[in-house]
Amino acid sequence: MPRAHIVLDKQAVVAPVRRRTFGSFVEHLGRCVYTGIYEPDHPSANDDGFRMDVVDLVRELGSTTIRYPGGNFVSGFRWEDSVGPRGKRPVRRDLAWHSLESNQVGLDEFAAWLKLTGSELMLAVNVATRGILPALDLLEYANHPSGTALSDLRIANGAPDPHNVRMWCLGNEMDGPWQTGFMSAEDYGKIAARTAAAMKMADKDLELVVCGSSGSGMPTFGDWERTVLEHSYDHVDYVSCHAYYQELDGDLGSFLASALDMEYFIDTVIATADHVGYKKRSSKKIDISFDEWNVWYLKEHQESEKSKEADNEWRHAPRQLEDVYTVADAVVVGNLLMTLLKRGDRVTSASLAQLVNVIAPIMTEPGGPAWRQTTFHPFSITSRLAAGEVIRPVIDAPTYTTARYGEASVVDAVATVDGDRAAVFLVNRDLTQSAQVTVDVRSLGLSRVLEALTLADSDVYAKNTLAEPLRVVPRANTGATLSDGVLTVELPPVSWSAIALGQSAGD
């Protein structure tokens, strides 16, 4: 049995727990919007057509900031199509996902939905095929109180209060040749800088996100960030990172160590951004918005999507990218979220992509139920328990060799501390053996295990489905004990765990 020892020192503070770390993403793609969050004929739908069973799950998930409306979708989007009387909204072709968009859900409807879920809107503007003036028009429509043409139009459309959007994405994945209107780093950096400067003339307190690389494997990775930021550094606040992971060729060991690639991605982008800042003699630090991350079995979807395009098939809200996630997928998602917490000093916003049906923690059946995927659980539990400050752990654990990422620790961990409560998050990447873990928490002054949950299964490929929605759920880890300042817990193979600590009565 592998053994690991972890030391937590409450002085080893990384950063505050950033609530925006628990963001998500709703794109007009597949069934994310239509029959996902919006289905007027569903038995649970409210008067606005939103599925309240999904709203309840989103609230349970604990998502905070929702990026919208894309994604690749935004690069062909005319925002004006999505406001005003529904009967007059045009149906458009979406080139990004080769489907039809009815525009029956637009900015005002989505803002109303966000109020139901208690989430913040993060809005993307189309700089790929439009430009500065449409972005300024959208900003005026969304945020200006009243007394201008576009703010008064919003009021006439039934939204009297401004949406007050603070975070704005300047396009999406502009380095990708799949992107409608993709550009070189030089061209994108210039248009992003001009758009950002103009938007801040309207509101200097906006938080603007410039597009970084679409993945660490892109041939321009690093150089893209440098070039874009050399143009836009003075006008933006964030640079984005996007990363998706999947098990390839049966290499489960590498897949379970995906967090190592995320760490490399973050470290490289921070170094590049700081390099540009030093060159500019700037005291400002650019933070990271990791606004797309997840497990995504992209290769499995590519052939079916190509066949639809070859048949010139244009459908409204087709089933697309509906991955059904396993226990192993959930362990990786939990570990990636742990990594985002560890880097909360610079990763101050993140978005799990996406929220419903499309590579999502929540699934729905049209006219039927909604249920939690395996990946729902580590996200919802971490969002609920993580509070206060992130503590950097010192981990002494055996390692194993991966084909993709080199040496990886068998056990990974992170912790948060909030006054007289703490939470420890752990993964065991060993494929066959449980890990015996001790955690020195004497520095925290806590004496009781309040809650201990583990997500694991004898079948690491077990899934939750429409037929078996509760096949995989977190279960109490009854062996977790805390004595004399040392937490002891056994972690099953391929598992994710969360342990909440507090004070005993009378302490």
Catalytic residues, by residue number, are 173, 292
Residue 395 to residue 46: CA distance in whole angstroms: 49
DSSP letter (8 states) at residue 159: -
Tokens of 105: 């859900």
Assign 3-class secondary structure to 407-423. Answer: EEECEEEEEEEECCEEE
Beta bridge pairs of residue 367: none
Tokens of 96: 């990004």
Residue 158 to residue 172: CA distance in whole angstroms: 29
Residue 108 to residue 153: CA distance in whole angstroms: 11
Residue 364 to residue 371: CA distance in whole angstroms: 6
What DSSP letter does each residue of 337-395 carry, written as one string? HHHHHHTTTTEEEEEEE-SBSSS-SEEE-TTS-EEE-TTHHHHHHHHHH--SEEEPPEE
Tokens of 448: 């009781």
Closest-CA residue to 139 (of 150, 153, 127): 150
| Length of the chain (residues) | 507
Residue 303 to residue 282: CA distance in whole angstroms: 47
- 3-state class (DSSP) for residue 211: coil
Residue carrying structure tokens 């742990």: 338
Residue type at position 423: A
Closest-CA residue to 332 (of 364, 387, 377): 377
Strands 120-125 and 65-68: parallel
Q: Is the dihedral of CA 219, 236, 20, 412 positive or negative?
A: positive
Element (H, E) at 459: none
What DSSP letter does each residue of 253-299 carry, written as one string? HHHHTHHHHHHHHHHHHHHHHHHHHHHTT-----EEEEEEEEE--HH
Q: How far is CA 179 from CA 19, 94, 174, 231, in A?
A: 30, 12, 6, 21
Residue 211 to residue 288: CA distance in whole angstroms: 10
Number of Cβ atoms within 10 Å of the Cβ of 364: 25
